[in-house]
Structure 1
Amino acid sequence: MFWVRVHDLGEHVFVTVVDKELLGKRFKEGDIILDINEDFFKGELLDEELALARMEAATSLYVIGKRAVKLAVEGEFIHPAAIKKVEGVPYAQMLLLYA
């Protein structure tokens, strides 16, 4: 299960997908802080199929956690080379650019 939140900004749709157990946690490594606070990331608790459907609507996508990142890679939203880690927790971002 994943916490999925859709931030509808008009012509842009920002979607966050986080592994369920990571919500409310904070990770730090050097100068990088990954703060998965409920105010920003808590939305709907969804299964893989519905999380993928939300990813498809995104013009900007932020995924955090092993399962969320794996789902985004398998759905071809994220390239494996784009994956970063903080304290072993993987995360990645996708941004659609229009010409």
Structure 2
Amino acid sequence: MIVKRHTTSDRRLILTICDDEILGRIYSEGEKQLDLSSEFYKGEKMAESQLRELVKHAYMINAVGKKSIKCCVDSGVIDAGRVATISKIPYAQMVRF
């Protein structure tokens, strides 16, 4: 999986997580679009074990792709019932309050 770390002005961690094989592509369905070619998603390759630990510390997560979603659901940070799809590509967002 590809992970990019962003930080808010108050230093909270935001993660974008994307499956390797869909990074760089654009998916559309009606009015909706997933643009995985933007710099927002271009990060570093990370092992699932590392990612499982990192997501516990994130304030916000934007995850796209089957493997990325599964990792987040299995880690308990994203509810499987909140996952949506665009062109059969699953995606979800999480914000901690």
The TM-score range, normalised by the shorter chain, is over 0.9
* Partner SS, residue 34 of structure 1: strand
Q: How many residues align?
A: 96
Q: If the length of structure 1 is used for normalisation, what is the TM-score? A: 0.91
Post-superposition offset of 1:18: 0.6
Structural mapping, 1:37-76, within 5 Å: 37-76=37-76
Q: Does the 8 A contact of 1:60 with 1:95 survive in 2?
A: yes
Post-superposition offset of 1:12: 2.1
* Partner SS, residue 2 of structure 2: strand
- Matching residue's letter, 2:13: V
Q: Percent identity?
A: 28
* Partner SS, residue 4 of structure 2: strand
Q: If the length of structure 2 is used for normalisation, what is the TM-score? A: 0.93
Runs of 4+ in 1 over 2 A off after TM superposition: none
Instruction: Map Cα deviations across residues 12-65 of structure 1 (whole Å, 9 max, x no partner).
Output: 211011101111001000111000124111111011011122211210001100
* Partner SS, residue 73 of structure 2: helix
Post-superposition offset of 1:88: 0.4
